[in-house]
Every structure is written in structure tokens, then in C-alpha cells.
């Protein structure tokens, strides 16, 4: 490995202050934002050690070390906005400025100094010291004209600024354009907040200590006068199951449940529900994939949070309540009384022993009525490869490795089921498959336009890799393709088909998916389609719905980022036929327990074509599959790791998910759920049928009060999830998790118990469901705008009710008071509105082809929706707010792997503090890693060392140990028991290299610009202006009362 040349010593900087542990009181003045021109964080950021302890306070005690807190400054020098800057149009989105315009050498000099007397602290009136902390306001300046660009202040420069913009102007607003109320012109004299005191997203590897904190979920709820929240989902911790469900498996949005609906309304209708990730932890028998450490060594490991398994096969089934059918759990009475409905079950009292009464989560090994299929679903993996893909020959070594991985993994589980792997080829001439008896002769299913089917039994063309002979035959078959048959197959694909059409321009992806579903109908399993374009021939053919820049949207077309399956009425015959086809295909796969994946592999060097990721993503969601889109120069390891993750994952097949609640609450909905929702009728909650469940499967459950609310005598509310599934070894299991939450009659206590990760994820899913409903009602693109407006108003109502109904009611009007556990909630809402799904489209000119296209495209929005709809508490912030790390100039010890052994000591790479996602944080000579959740950008400044630029051009980032370690930890995220194949993140994120260029944007530089959410990008205000506008709305509402 090579190391970077030693950088010049950076100016002293301090890490960003992050404090989600105490409510913030942000005071506003008419000062403008303070942006630093140094490398690293903004001026004014201080570490926790620099904070006077008298300015910090929290509610209650905590078992975990608090994260770094915000700095408190007494004064500062703030450059004013350019008075000549004009406000943006009410309808036209603000185009993001180019990075190369910000990074001129003349732009890095210090702004003119300005002398202002320091202001004394202004403590809030009548606010308990444990409810908030007072932060110093910025100095007052005369009101300035509103500017949407936070970097508009003129700075001394040795060269004239570049006034040209590489992108064309966005198209004019169309008639009927919906304008969200939060984007309207702000009032004159907008007041500002000192940016150094604004809450910021914390580092996901906190605490960076050798010994991880341990959380006991039952003791946290039952002990003490108030409930103790679990540690943040995006931090590192260990859970010891002492009789309550682990937050890794079931995490609630509040841990002090409002007793009545009226009390809930007083919180501004906080998101009320749970996020269930039922297979996030392995069982006792599962053998996971060996962990790959940063030094590339392999280490065997066992999850310290394994779930115990109880043999409950006939004639001793799991003990259950005779009335509500809830499973016995540690909160059952000694006489068998049910903690959910109160019914006494004296007949099962003698059986209430063992792990079921000691652990919050337990696996029951069951039989009899729990078995729903004659034979369990075997580990069968079938791949359909489009012959028009340019890299077909390079896919074959990947498939050979997958066969070896499947044999190893199933062998480690001592599974009696037979693992099989198979391959078929897709062309416009038909689907080709080779039988065992004659590998040189292919069976062709030519009916790609009517009713595709599999012409051979599954066992006749798939390989049993559980025996050495079968694995050897699989590898020999792939080698034979490389030497003999593959070129002949590609010639067949290039030829004109029976309709006289060029085969290289056609894709029979719909027919291939139907072929896979029919092949797996008898057994179940996983089918994967690998292609480079949307299906455009045969059944399931999809039309181009991407709008043309500057052209009005056709009201008869459903918007490009919405799936055809969810449309109510389609006037175009081709769209209606495709919608019906994919709905029927999804229903068949759900019934047969078949899981379908779609992997799009496109070139980053050609203009992106419309793929209709929305429709194919909906099919994957309904069948519990996964949608991949790989478009990288170094694509081989990405595709290999994505497909290997499906093989090595702890997977449950043929699953049914059920939720039960205690008296007073009920299930309202399952927003953006996977699988098939089955309504059991009046009086019983719905359940979800799932083809398969993985550690990434996250199910949201929205709760509501029944009439009358929770009975006053109930000190706790209970939520029980049950997942019926089959393991890879064919065992039928029921995983039962029971979560106890305190009830409360105090608004302050409810706010103090909010879990930020769960609340934000539920809000995102609510907005997606709202958008889907409006699209179904023919709202068109206005549905996206209205859903974005919903996010803002939900944030506004929650903060307004906190100011009105909590102890913050007596605070000064000029203070913006944020709840203790929701300090980052405004930041999340703003970032969500700037995300690919909700930000307005803008016309951009491609730097290479000069073609004009909309950004984000419909496929960009659809892919983001696919992952946001399944987002977990751990990654909810990461999906909308990037982590940006400066590679150069960090402290000694950064990027070093600290290896620890033992069940509670897991190694990690020490990460630097993230810098603000702002243009002011990026320097010309800097080198940065920007993590967007789905991609990691390796961004190299234009004056960075040539050695690093060459490394970026050649995509040899792994050659540098420092970069390799950083990327390893970013992929692992906050996982405490995974290596680079961790299941915390939804994908194996690729690394994309970008070198800043002069004169025009580098390829994909616009994607980096849109990640700088702290600035005024994507048609929204910068973070400071957003908070000020939010605060102004709150003040107006308070005055109106």
C-alpha cells in the first residue's frame, strides 16, 4: 500500500459540536451566517472540553457517555450578505453554484474584520434548567435583502469571479405549478442564528472507545421514575436481553407513550409507531460469513446478541393467550394472565418457564399448523443474464464465485436442503437454457410476447453445489461458455428477430422475469435478472415516460418516478398492459414464495437512458427482492459483493409477519411495507406475507389510540411482533419480540422519550405514502410538492406544540427552543426536502455530450424511493444528510484500525469529525470522502497533489491504507458485529472518484453539489435561513393565538 505525501500543517480547527442530548435554545438576531474559509469545520466550532459545564443540562441520567456538545461563543465576526443580491423567483428553483467558482485562490482570504461588542447571555424566562440551554446570539446588523446563496458576500479576490454558469436555465414554471408554502418569500428583516450553535449530525462511530456501552432494555423501562431511551440507532452499543425487546429488533418512536389521543395531539402528532427489523440478529445455530478486517485478514466471529431457540414442536406448542393469541413473554403474570389483553390463562401457567419468560426475543422451533408448505423453500439461486450487455464474459467469473460461496455457506449451516444454482440467457429471440443431458444444445423459450414459461424442470438445468461433483460441473459449464458457446449466443442476440427488429436494441426483461417466476414456482427461491436497459420488447414492455426539459408534462402519462402498478387509470394501452402484467407477476411470486431481484448495470461514460426503475422497483418490493443499479468504472467488486450478500445473508423464507398491541392502542397502517398485506377482517390486525426476510428488511408499523385511549391503570403499553419463517436448514421458526413502553400523561416526558431515528424514518415513509396516494388521484408532479410541504408542516406543528404545551411555553419569543431529543429534527426535515425525491427538477447540460436533461431524473427519484421506503433507524439521517470527511490534515491516530477481541469489544477504524456539508468547507487543495448513503464520492480538489489525482483517475483507492480504512468503516457504518459485509447499510456502496476541474463541471460534480445540504441548493434555503423561516412561522402562529 502507498501512503499520501505529508500535507502541510493545517490551521488549528476544532471538531463540530454535536449535542442531541439536551434541548437547544437558539436565539435569533439579524446577523447573517458565519461561514469559514479555512479547511475543516466552520469557525466557532468547539469540542466538548471547551464548553463551560454551566451551560449544559440534560434530563435525568444516562447509561451512555454523552456525545460531544455544542460550543458556546460570546461574539464573532460575520460577513454580511451582498446587498446587490436579488431574491429568487417564487417559482424558479435556485440553481446550485459550481464548486470551481467557490475555490478560487482569491476567495480564501479572510473577510473584512468587524468590531462588535459582545452580547451578554439572555437566558430564557421561566424555563427549568434541565429543559434547555441558552446559546449566545450573533451580533445585530441592519436588515439585509434576502439572498438564497449563503456564499454571496463579496470577498477580496485576485481574479474576477466567473459569472458564467455551466448549466442552462431551468424551464419556466408550467401552469398549475404547486408552490409549497415554506418556499415563499421570507419576511423582510429575516433574523439569523449563530451558526456555531446550531445542532449538527453526530459521528456514527461514537463512542470511539475500546469498551462499548451496554444497554439493558428491561431495566431501562422498569427501573427509575422515568424511562431511559435506548442509545441512538446510529451509534455503537451492545444490547443485553434482560426481558425486553432489543432496539436492534424493535425500536419505538417514543418510549413514554401518550395515554390519550388528546395528549398525543398536544405533541403536534408526533410520529407514533415502531420500526421492526425482525432478523437483525442471528439465531444460536446460524454460522455467519467470516469478517474481513481492514488489513484484509479473515476472522471468524459469532454475534454476541444471538437469539435463543426453544423447541416447541408438537405436542408442546408455544404457550399463547387463549383470547388474543399473544405469545407468552416475560411480562405475563405468574398465573398466566396476558399482559396484552388481561385474560387469565391458568392452563398454561405451568409452562411459563425457560427463555420464553426470560428474554424479550425468542425463537420457537415449531411444527404442525405452523407449516404452510409441503416442503420448505430450498436455497435456490437462478440468474438470467441479458446477452446484449457488453460485459457478459466478465459476469461468468462472478457467477462461478457465487456457486462456490453457496456451497460453502450451506455447508456451514449443516443444512439438509439441497442448494442449487442455475443460469439462463435472455435475447429478443427467446430465453435460452441448457439441459444437463446435452450442454451443447439449448432449449429456447421463444414465446416472449405472450405467456413466457420455463420449458425444462428446474433440476434439469440447475446444479446441486452441495456435492463437489455438482460444483465442479457448474464451473466447467461456465468455462465452456467462455471457450465455445458464448460468442455464438451473442451472435444470435445481435441478429434481427422474427419481427425484423435489431436484437441489440431490444430487451425481453419482462419475459425473463416471468421465466424465472415459472421456473421457481414449485420450489420457491431467488431469481435475479442482470440487464442494461428497461424491458422494451415482449410482455412487460415499458414505454419512455421521462419528461423532456422545457416541455409540458402529458397529463395522460403517469409521472416517471411513480410505478405503473400504483396508477388508478392508464389511458395508454402499453402502460395498462405492463401494469397488469407486473401486478399479476408479483401476486404469483408472493403465492409461490419467489423473490425477484433486478440488477441494472449501465456505463457511466454514456448518457443515462430511461430504465423505469420505479416499475421494476415496485416488483422487487412486492416480492421482497432488491433493486440494484451499478454504474461505475470499477464495477466488478460492487456487483460481486451485492450478489454475495444475498447468498451469505441470514434469510428467512416463506414468512408471515404479525403485530399485536395491548389495550388502548391499535395498528393504523404499515407504511411502504414490503410483501403482500393481508387484511384479516374486523377485529383482527392485518398481517404481511413475505417471500423472504433478511437483516435489511425493516417494517414500519404506525400506531394509533383506540376510542378512550390507554386505560389509566396501565403503566405500560406492550407491542409484540411475531415472524413465522423457515431457516436455510428448513426448520420452521416463530421469532417473538415483546416490547414494553411506559405510558405517560405529561407532554414534556413524551418529548424527552422520542427516538430521533425512528421518528424521522416514520415521517419519511408517511410522506412517501402521501405522495403515492396523490399520484393515484391524478395530482401529477404536484404530488411530490405537496408531500414535501407535508414534511415541513409536520416539523412546524411538532415544534409549535412543544413551545405551546411543554415547559418551553414561558421561553422568550426570540428564542427558538428545540426539544431535547429532536434537536436534529429540523435538519432532517430540511435535508429530506432537498433529497432526490422531493427537490425540484432542473435542466442541466451534460459536460460530455452537451445534452440537456432533467436532474434529478425519474430513475434517480425512483431508486432513492426504493431505499428510503425501507430505511431503518440507523440510516435514516445518512440517507438525506451526507457525511463528509477531510482525508488530509487529521490528528494522529485517525484512520487506524483498533482491533479488539471478545463479545463486547469490536474493532473499528477511528474516524475524523465530519465537516459541514457546505461549499465553504471544501478547499481547492483538499481531498474528501462524501458519503451520500448510496454512494461514496472520492472528491479531489483541483490543486491537490498529483499523486492523489492519479490514484483517483486509475480508481486505485485501495492502494492507500488510509483511504482503504476509511471506506471500510464507512461501509461497516456503526455495526458492532459486521465487517465490510455488514448488514446495517442497504447496499455495498461504491466509491466514485471526482476530480475538480476548472472552466466546467467535472462528471458527476452536480451530484456532489446537491449533497451540500447546508447551503441553498435544490430550490431550498440554507440551514440557517430554514431555521429562521421556521422560527418566524412559529412566532406568527403564537401571535395569532
19, 24, 36: which is closest to 1014 by C-alpha? 36
* In the block, residue with C-alpha cell 434548567: 129
Q: What is the pLDDT of residues 731-784, one digit of tens each?
A: 999 999 999 999 999 999 999 999 999 999 999 999 999 999 998 887 778 899
Q: Which three cell numbers stand for residue 547?
A: 419528461
Return d(Cα 839, Cα 834) in angstroms, integer.
Answer: 5
CA angle (707 as vertex; 703, 712 as ends), nearest 5: 90
Q: Among the ranges 10-14, 67-71, 664-668, which has the highest mean pLDDT value?
A: 664-668
Confidence band for 441, pLDDT divided at 50, 70 and 90: confident
Confidence band for 889, pLDDT divided at 50, 70 and 90: confident
Which pLDDT score is estimated for 188?
Answer: 53
* In the block, residue with C-alpha cell 444475498: 646
First to last CA, the chain: 65
Q: Which three cell numbers stand for residue 644?
A: 454475495
Least confident among 135-139, 545-549, 807-811: 135-139
| Helix ranges restricted to H, 380-441 | 392-412
Say which residues have a Cβ less than 8 Å from residue 79's Cβ, sequence separation at least 6: 32, 34, 35, 111, 112, 153, 155
Confidence band for 554, pLDDT divided at 50, 70 and 90: low
Which pLDDT score is estimated for 1002?
Answer: 58
Return d(Cα 508, Cα 538) in angstroms, integer.
Answer: 6
Strand-strand pairing, 256-258 and 238-239: unpaired
The whole-number average pLDDT for the span 508-523 is 96
Q: What is the pLDDT of residues 207-265, one digit of tens each?
A: 887 678 899 999 999 887 777 899 999 998 989 999 999 999 999 999 999 999 999 99
Confidence band for 903, pLDDT divided at 50, 70 and 90: low
3-state secondary structure of 562: coil
The whole-number average pLDDT for the span 76-101 is 36
Q: What is the average pLDDT value for the chain, to the nearest integer?
A: 80
Domain ranges, ordered by start, for the chain: 24-203+773-1040, 238-372+656-672+691-711+727-740, 380-648
Return d(Cα 613, Cα 784) in angstroms, integer.
Answer: 17
Q: What is the pLDDT of residues 414-440, one digit of tens each?
A: 888 999 999 999 999 999 998 876 766
Confidence band for 527, pLDDT divided at 50, 70 and 90: very high
Which pLDDT score is estimated for 71?
Answer: 34
Q: What is the pLDDT of residues 579-626, one digit of tens each?
A: 999 999 999 999 999 999 999 999 988 888 999 999 999 999 999 999
Would you call 552 exposed, middle or buried from its count of C-beta atoms within 10 A (0-12, 13-18, 19+)? exposed
CA angle (589 as vertex; 587, 592 as ends), nearest 5: 110
Q: By percentage, how much of the chain surpasses pLDDT 90? A: 55
The whole-number average pLDDT for the span 801-814 is 90
CA angle (754 as vertex; 675, 710 as ends), nearest 5: 80
Return d(Cα 206, Cα 198) in angstroms, integer.
Answer: 20
Beta strands in 732-784 (DSSP E): 732-744
Which pLDDT score is estimated for 69?
Answer: 35
Which pLDDT score is estimated for 181?
Answer: 47
Query: b/e per residue, 95-130, with b = 16+ CB within 10 A?
Result: bbbbbbbbbbeebbeebeeeeeeeeeeebbeebeeb
Return d(Cα 87, Cα 1016) in angstroms, integer.
Answer: 12
The distance of Cα 918 from the centroid of its chain, to the nearest Å, equals 21
Handedness of CA 809, 814, 815, 818 (dihedral sign): positive
Which pLDDT score is estimated for 682?
Answer: 59
Which pLDDT score is estimated for 53?
Answer: 31
Would you call 197 exposed, middle or buried from its count of C-beta atoms within 10 A (0-12, 13-18, 19+)? buried
Return d(Cα 928, Cα 700) in angstroms, integer.
Answer: 35
Return d(Cα 687, Cα 681) in angstroms, integer.
Answer: 11
β-bridge partners, 444:
432
Say which residues have a Cβ less than 8 Å from residue 138's Cβ, sequence separation at least 6: 29, 31, 34, 76, 78, 192, 193, 194
The model carries a pTM of 0.84
Return d(Cα 416, Cα 859) in angstroms, integer.
Answer: 42
Which pLDDT score is estimated for 54?
Answer: 30
Contact call for residues 595 and 589 (beta carbons, < 8 A): yes
β-bridge partners, 821:
none
Is 117's pLDDT higher than 90? no
3-state secondary structure of 702: strand
Least confident among 2-6, 101-105, 306-310, 735-739: 101-105
Return d(Cα 718, Cα 3) in angstroms, integer.
Answer: 54
Which pLDDT score is estimated for 45?
Answer: 35
The superfamily CATH assigns to domain 380-648 is von Willebrand factor, type A domain (3.40.50.410)
Confidence band for 982, pLDDT divided at 50, 70 and 90: low
Amino acid at each position: 500500500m502507498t501512503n499520501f505525501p505529508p500535507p502541510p500543517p493545517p490551521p488549528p480547527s476544532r471538531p463540530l459540536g454535536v449535542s442531541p442530548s439536551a434541548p437547544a435554545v437558539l436565539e435569533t438576531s439579524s446577523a447573517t451566517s458565519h461561514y469559514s474559509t479555512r479547511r475543516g469545520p466552520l469557525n466557532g466550532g468547539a469540542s466538548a472540553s471547551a464548553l463551560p459545564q454551566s451551560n449544559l443540562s440534560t434530563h435525568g441520567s444516562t447509561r451512555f457517555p454523552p456525545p460531544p456538545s455544542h460550543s458556546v461563543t460570546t461574539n464573532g465576526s460575520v460577513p454580511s450578505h451582498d446587498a446587490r443580491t436579488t431574491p429568487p423567483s417564487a417559482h424558479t428553483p435556485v440553481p446550485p453554484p459550481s464548486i470551481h467558482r467557490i475555490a478560487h485562490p482569491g476567495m480564501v482570504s479572510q473577510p473584512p474584520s468587524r468590531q462588535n461588542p459582545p452580547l451578554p447571555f439572555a437566558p430564557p424566562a421561566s424555563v427549568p434548567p434541565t429543559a434547555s440551554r441558552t446559546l449566545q446570539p450573533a451580533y445585530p446588523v441592519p436588515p439585509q435583502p434576502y439572498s438564497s446563496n449563503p456564499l454571496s458576500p463579496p470577498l477580496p479576490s485576485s481574479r474576477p469571479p466567473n459569472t458564467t454558469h455551466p448549466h442552462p436555465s431551468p424551464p419556466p414554471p408550467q401552469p398549475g405549478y404547486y408552490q409549497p408554502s415554506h418556499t415563499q418569500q421570507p419576511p423582510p428583516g429575516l433574523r439569523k442564528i449563530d451558526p456555531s450553535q446550531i445542532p449538527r449530525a453526530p459521528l456514527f462511530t461514537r463512542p470511539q472507545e475500546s469498551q462499548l456501552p451496554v444497554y439493558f432494555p428491561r431495566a431501562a423501562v422498569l427501573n427509575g421514575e422515568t424511562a431511559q431511551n435506548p442509545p441512538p440507532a446510529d451509534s455503537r452499543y451492545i444490547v443485553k436481553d434482560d426481558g425486553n425487546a432489543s432496539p436492534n429488533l424493535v425500536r419505538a418512536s417514543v418510549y413514554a407513550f401518550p395515554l390519550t389521543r388528546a395528549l398525543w395531539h398536544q405533541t403536534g402528532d408526533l410520529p407514533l409507531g415502531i420500526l421492526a427489523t425482525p432478523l437483525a440478529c442471528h439465531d444460536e445455530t446460524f454460522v455467519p460469513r467470516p469478517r474481513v478486517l481492514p488489513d484484509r485478514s479473515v476472522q471468524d466471529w459469532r454475534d454476541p446478541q444471538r437469539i435463543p431457540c426453544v423447541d416447541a414442536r408438537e405436542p408442546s406448542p408455544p404457550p399463547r393467550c387463549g383470547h388474543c393469541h399473544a405469545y407468552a413473554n416475560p411480562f405475563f403474570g405468574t398465573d398466566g394472565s396476558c399482559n396484552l389483553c388481561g385474560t387469565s390463562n391458568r392452563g398454561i401457567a405451568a409452562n411459563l418457564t425457560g427463555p420464553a419468560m426470560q428474554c424479550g426475543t425468542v425463537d420457537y422451533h415449531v411444527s404442525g399448523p405452523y407449516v404452510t408448505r409441503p416442503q420448505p423453500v430450498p436455497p435456490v439461486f437462478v440468474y438470467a443474464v441479458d446477452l446484449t450487455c457488453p460485459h457478459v464474459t466478465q459476469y461468468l467469473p462472478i457467477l462461478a464465485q457465487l456457486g462456490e460461496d453457496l456451497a460453502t455457506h450451506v455447508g456451514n449451516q449443516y443444512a439438509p436442503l439441497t442448494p442449487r444454482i442455475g443460469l439462463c440467457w435472455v435475447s429478443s429471440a427467446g430465453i435460452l437454457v441448457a439441459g444437463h443431458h446435452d450442454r451443447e444444445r439449448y432449449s429456447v423459450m421463444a414465446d416472449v410476447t405472450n405467456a413466457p414459461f420455463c420449458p425444462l424442470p428446474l433440476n434439469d438445468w440447475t446444479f446441486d453445489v452441495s456435492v463437489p461433483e455438482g460444483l465442479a460441473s457448474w464451473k466447467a459449464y461456465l468455462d465452456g461458455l467462455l471457450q465455445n458457446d458464448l460468442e455464438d449466443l451473442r451472435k444470435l442476440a445481435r441478429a434481427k428477430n422474427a419481427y425484423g427488429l435489431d436484437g441489440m436494441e431490444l430487451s425481453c426483461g419482462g419475459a425473463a422475469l416471468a421465466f424465472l417466476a415459472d421456473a421457481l414456482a414449485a420450489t420457491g427461491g431467488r431469481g435475479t435478472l442482470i440487464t442494461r436497459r428497461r424491458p422494451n420488447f415482449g410482455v412487460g414492455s415499458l414505454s419512455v415516460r421521462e419528461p423532456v426539459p422545457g416541455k409540458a408534462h402529458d397529463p395522460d402519462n403517469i409521472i416517471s418516478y411513480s410505478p405503473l402498478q400504483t396508477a388508478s387509470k392508464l389511458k395508454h394501452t402499453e402502460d395498462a398492459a405492463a401494469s397488469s402484467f407486473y401486478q399479476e407477476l408479483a401476486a404469483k411470486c408472493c403465492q409461490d414464495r419467489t423473490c425477484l431481484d433486478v440488477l441494472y448495470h449501465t456505463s457511466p461514460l454514456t448518457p443515462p437512458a430511461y430504465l423505469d426503475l420505479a416499475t421494476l422497483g415496485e416488483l422487487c418490493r412486492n416480492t421482497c427482492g432488491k433493486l440494484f443499479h451499478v454504474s461505475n468504472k470499477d464495477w466488478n467488486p460492487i456487483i460481486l459483493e451485492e450478489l454475495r450478500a444475498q447468498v451469505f445473508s441470514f434469510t428467512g423464507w416463506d414468512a408471515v409477519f404479525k403485530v399485536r398491541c395491548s389495550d388502548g392502542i391499535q395498528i393504523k397502517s404499515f407504511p411502504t411495507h414490503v410483501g403482500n398485506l393481508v387484511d384479516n377482517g374486523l377485529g383482527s390486525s392485518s398481517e404481511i406475507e413475505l417471500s423472504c426476510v433478511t437483516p435489511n428488511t425493516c417494517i414500519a408499523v404506525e400506531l394509533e389510540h383506540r376510542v378512550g385511549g390507554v386505560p389509566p391503570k396501565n403503566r405500560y403499553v406492550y407491542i409484540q411482533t411475531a415472524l413465522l419463517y423457515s431457516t436455510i436448514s428448513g426448520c420452521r421458526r416463530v421469532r417473538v419480540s415483546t416490547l414494553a413502553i411506559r405510558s405517560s400523561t405529561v407532554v414534556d416526558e413524551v418529548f424527552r422519550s422520542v427516538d430521533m431515528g425512528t421518528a424521522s424514518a416514520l415521517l419519511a415513509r408517511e410522506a412517501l405514502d402521501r405522495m403515492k396516494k396523490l399520484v393515484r388521484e391524478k395530482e401529477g408532479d404536484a404530488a411530490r410538492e405537496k408531500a414535501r410541504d407535508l414534511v415541513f408542516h409536520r416539523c412546524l406543528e411538532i415544534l409549535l406544540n412543544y413551545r405551546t404545551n411543554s415547559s418551553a411555553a414561558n421561553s422568550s419569543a426570540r428564542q427558538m427552543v428545540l426539544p431535547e431529543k429532536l434537536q436534529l429534527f429540523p435538519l432532517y426535515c430540511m435535508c429530506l426536502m432537498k433529497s432526490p425525491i422531493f427537490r425540484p427538477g432542473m435542466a442541466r447540460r451534460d459536460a460530455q455530450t452537451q445534452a440537456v436533461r432533467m436532474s434529478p431524473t425519474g430513475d434517480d427519484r425512483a431508486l432513492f424511493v426504493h431505499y428510503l421506503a425501507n430505511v431503518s433507524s440507523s440510516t435514516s439521517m445518512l440517507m438525506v444528510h451526507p457525511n463528509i470527511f477531510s482525508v488530509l490534515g487529521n490528528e494522529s491516530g485517525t484512520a487506524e484500525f483498533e482491533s479488539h477481541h471478545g463479545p463486547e469489544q469490536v474493532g473499528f477504524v477511528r474516524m475524523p469529525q465530519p465537516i459541514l456539508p457546505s461549499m465553504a468547507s471544501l478547499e481547492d487543495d483538499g481531498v474528501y470522502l462524501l458519503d451520500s448513503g448510496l454512494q461514496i464520492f472520492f472528491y479531489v480538489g483541483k490543486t491537490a497533489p498529483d499523486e492523489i489525482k492519479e490514484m483517483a483517475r486509475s480508481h486505485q483507492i485501495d492502494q492507500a491504507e488510509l483511504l482503504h480504512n476509511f471506506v471500510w468503516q464507512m461501509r461497516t457504518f456503526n455495526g458492532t458485529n459486521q465487517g465490510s459485509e455488514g448488514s446495517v447499510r442497504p447496499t455495498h456502496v461504491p466509491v466514485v472518484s471526482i476530480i475538480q476541474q476548472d472552466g466546467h463541471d467535472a462528471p458527476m460534480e452536480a451530484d456532489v453539489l446537491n449533497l451540500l445540504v447546508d447551503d441553498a441548493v435544490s430550490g431550498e434555503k440554507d440551514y440557517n435561513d430554514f431555521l429562521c423561516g421556521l422560527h418566524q412561522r412559529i412566532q406568527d402562529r403564537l401571535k395569532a393565538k
